Structure 1
Amino acid sequence: MEKRLFWSLAAGGLLLAAGLGALRAEACTGITLRAADGSQVVARTIEWGGSDLNSRYVVTPRGYAQHSFAPDGGTGMSFTARYGYVGLAVERPEFVAEGLNEEGLSAGLFYFPGYGRYVDFDAAQRDVTIADLQVVPWILGSCRTLDEVRQAVARVRIVSVYPGASTVHWRFTDPSGSQLVLEIVDGQAHFYENRLGVLTNSPGFEWQMTNLCNYVNLHGGSAPGQSLDSVALAPFGAGSGMLGLPGDVTPPSRFVRAAFYQATAPRQATGEAAVRCCFQILNNFDIPIGVEFAAGQQPTDIPSATQWTAAADLTHRRLCYRTMYDSAIRCFDLTDIDFARVKYRSEPLDRVREQPVTPVRVR
């Protein structure tokens, strides 16, 4: 009965996971901005071109108890939220991909195909085993600082809820602005300090940082003119300092593009302004649905491969999002939520799955 219940509940998530092996739109792009007033803001996109992720938001109170799914159809470890949080989930409410807790800790997962490898599932150790797609809600409910994140990860075994699926890696940020990337390779957990604040997908984080050196010539503004054997050369227009910036949608190219767009963005005065700036920057990473399909293939019937974009102001405890169905920015203010009394809640990100169009009436 337990196995039947698990496969019934998780069917949507496992179908998603199984499809990840096709490498279609496993494209997440994360950036970080720091406002002049000290506010720390992290933002990201989430992509999947194979189907609608049926994304939801979850509001989780203190004391809410959950258990992890396990790849054998049973259960893994149980965990209870010490801290309340708000998260954005994909396919299942349990599969929170991005979230913020009441202490200002942010956590998010990013697909990491072909480079990560978790430990093998061991049924004898299920009490300390957690599914990769449930690490984010577990951390948000359990941890306040990055040191606590490190300690928590060291105590558990992270496994794939569906062994044939892509692995993921994770980004954790606290209100100080310190940020960690967690990657599990050959069963070993590796934490990297992310001073840049950018993250995409494969290859690994260290490789992505090294690859930035290939673009040492790029800079904001325009390139200076020069003479070539007495022939005057001049830039065609503004922004020529970024000539050569990669524009394709692969993870290495998005990492480079995100790094330079983030670095050249004007410093915003407040956290709210930085959140708006993050959404503007991440406009550049929306992936049109058609680019994911070869000629002759039928694209999925969704508006965009970029299904939603989120930004969190860790300082002021605000989590904002917009979706492929509605580009208006919606926001949760966690300081207005009493996590000791609020009931667990899970709701679709969009009630109406169509971009609203507001008429402009001229009389």
Structure 2
Amino acid sequence: MCTRILWNTNGLAVLVGRTMDWPESTDPVLTVFPQGLKRDGGKLVGHTVAGDNPLKWTSRFGSLVTTIYGGGTVDGLNERGLGAHMLYLDETDLGPGDPNKPALQIALWIQYLLDSAETVAEALDLLDTFQLMMVEMRGFRATVHVALEDASGDSAIIEYVDGERRVHHDRKYTVMTNEPAFDEQLRLLEQQVQKVRSLGHDQPSGEVPLPGNVNAVDRFQRAAYFSALLPKPANERQAVAGILAVTRNASVPFGAPYRTGRFDVYNTEYRTVCDLTDKRYFFELATSPNLLWTELDRFDLSPGASVMALNPDSLDLAGDVSGQFAQVDAPF
């Protein structure tokens, strides 16, 4: 379970924060991929899932991402300011495969988009060029939906429900959590808004308190409310602090109930913030008091450059850690 919050109205920088909520460590690694990498959409972490017709491509853009479980990309941005994030969605149903389209295993879904597109619109145009294939790691099926945003502030939510793709494309779609599907989340949020207005208030007050549980619906509504109240920042420091404050408010504390109704809820493993304007990536591990950040422009992203990586799970890491990445073999 996770939360994504886009702030595209502050007039300073387009920022997006997210939480990663999961029942175990995903072994996150901050990874920088250069241009010119040849990729196979069926191979990851030493196994093949896409059969005889995998999608193959060469990365057009460099990217800075968080990889999990040895190679799958779950969050990040590319050098042109496109951001992408995978969040859990239990009702994901990819539907029947199309043998006429090359297959892309789902753990590489957003990496393909970051490798290939400059904007949300370009990324959406790519969706018809492949078919997604489900993958399972450590017993967990990757039933996910995806949020995209770019440096212009554009936004899209992509889901596969009942075997059909649903795309919600508008810069007003700034908040995303998990169950239920996005259209139902919007309906529930509107119900809360109407409830507040029926009592004569423009926003929640002491008479109409904000939802306070850790389930996806309550987190969605709190994130929508608090992100709308953020004051105009004077500089990037204030802007990042603002989006982090809302992201932390939507986090799930350790010891929170794992079961809330039909769906499981897990504590927050880490939080990230993408600054799509200045190409900075912030990372905060829930078990560490330190905030890390990385400057994408400090890396060599040209074809032939090395893949660089950093394990953020160290109390010795704090502040700008761009210079502490080390060369690694590509995880594919």
Q: TM-score range by the shorter chain?
A: 0.7 to 0.9
Give runs of aligned pairs for residues 1-363 of structure 1, distance below 5 A: 27-34=1-8, 36-49=10-23, 51-69=24-42, 70-71=48-49, 76-93=54-71, 95-114=72-91, 116-121=92-97, 128-162=102-136, 165-194=141-170, 195-216=172-193, 217-218=195-196, 240-241=205-206, 243-293=208-258, 305-340=267-302, 342-352=305-315
Match of 1:3 in 2: none
Shift in Å, 1:223: 7.2
Q: Is the CA contact (8 Å cut-off) linking 2:290 and 2:315 kept in structure 1?
A: no
Determine helix, strand or coil for the equivalent of 1:134. helix
**Which residue identity is paired with 2:213?**
D
Q: Deviations over 1:200-244 (max 9, x none)?
A: 01111111111112222449xx979xxxxxxxxxxxxxx834733
Larger radius of gyration: 1
Determine helix, strand or coil for the equivalent of 1:273. helix
Shift in Å, 1:186: 3.0
Q: Is the CA contact (8 Å cut-off) linking 1:35 and 1:271 kept in structure 2?
A: no
Unaligned runs of 5+ in 2: 43-47, 260-265, 319-332
Determine helix, strand or coil for the equivalent of 1:256. helix
Match of 2:321 in 1: none
Shift in Å, 1:254: 0.8
Structure-2 change in CA distance of 1:309 and 1:118 (3 Å): same
Shift in Å, 1:36: 4.0
What is the alpha-carbon distance in structure 2 between the residues aligned to residue 177 and residue 129 of structure 1? 30
**Which residue identity is paired with 2:313?**
D
Structure-2 change in CA distance of 1:153 and 1:41 (3 Å): same
What is the alpha-carbon distance in structure 2 between the residues aligned to residue 266 and residue 218 of structure 1? 22
Shift in Å, 1:121: 4.8
Identical-residue share of aligned pairs (%):
24
**Which residue identity is paired with 1:277?**
G
Structure-2 change in CA distance of 1:36 and 1:223 (3 Å): closer
Shift in Å, 1:34: 3.3
What is the alpha-carbon distance in structure 1 between the residues aligned to residue 120 and residue 243 of structure 2? 23
Structure richer in strand, relative to its length: 2
Q: How many matched pairs?
A: 299
What is the alpha-carbon distance in structure 1 between the residues aligned to residue 81 and residue 317 of structure 2? 32
Q: Deviations over 1:309-359 (max 9, x none)?
A: 00111111111111022232211111222211641123322135999xxxx
Q: Is the CA contact (8 Å cut-off) linking 2:50 and 2:103 kept in structure 1?
A: no
Shift in Å, 1:165: 1.9
Q: Is the CA contact (8 Å cut-off) linking 2:272 and 2:283 kept in structure 1?
A: yes
Unaligned runs of 5+ in 1: 1-26, 225-238, 295-303, 356-363
Q: Deviations over 1:150-208 (max 9, x none)?
A: 11111110121139725211011011101000111233222102414000011111111
Structure 1 residue ranges (4+ consecutive) displaced by more than 4 angstroms after TM superposition? 72-75, 352-355
Determine helix, strand or coil for the equivalent of 1:290. coil
What is the alpha-carbon distance in structure 1 between the residues aligned to residue 316 and residue 103 of structure 2? 37
What is the alpha-carbon distance in structure 2 between the residues aligned to residue 135 and residue 190 of structure 1? 16
Q: Is the CA contact (8 Å cut-off) linking 1:34 and 1:274 kept in structure 2?
A: no
What is the alpha-carbon distance in structure 2 between the residues aligned to residue 144 and residue 331 of structure 1? 22
Q: Is the CA contact (8 Å cut-off) linking 1:131 and 1:161 kept in structure 2?
A: yes
What is the alpha-carbon distance in structure 1 between the residues aligned to residue 238 and residue 207 of structure 2? 25
RMSD: 2.8
**Which residue identity is paired with 1:317?**
K
Q: Is the CA contact (8 Å cut-off) linking 1:42 and 1:313 kept in structure 2?
A: yes
Shift in Å, 1:71: 3.3
Determine helix, strand or coil for the equivalent of 1:99. strand
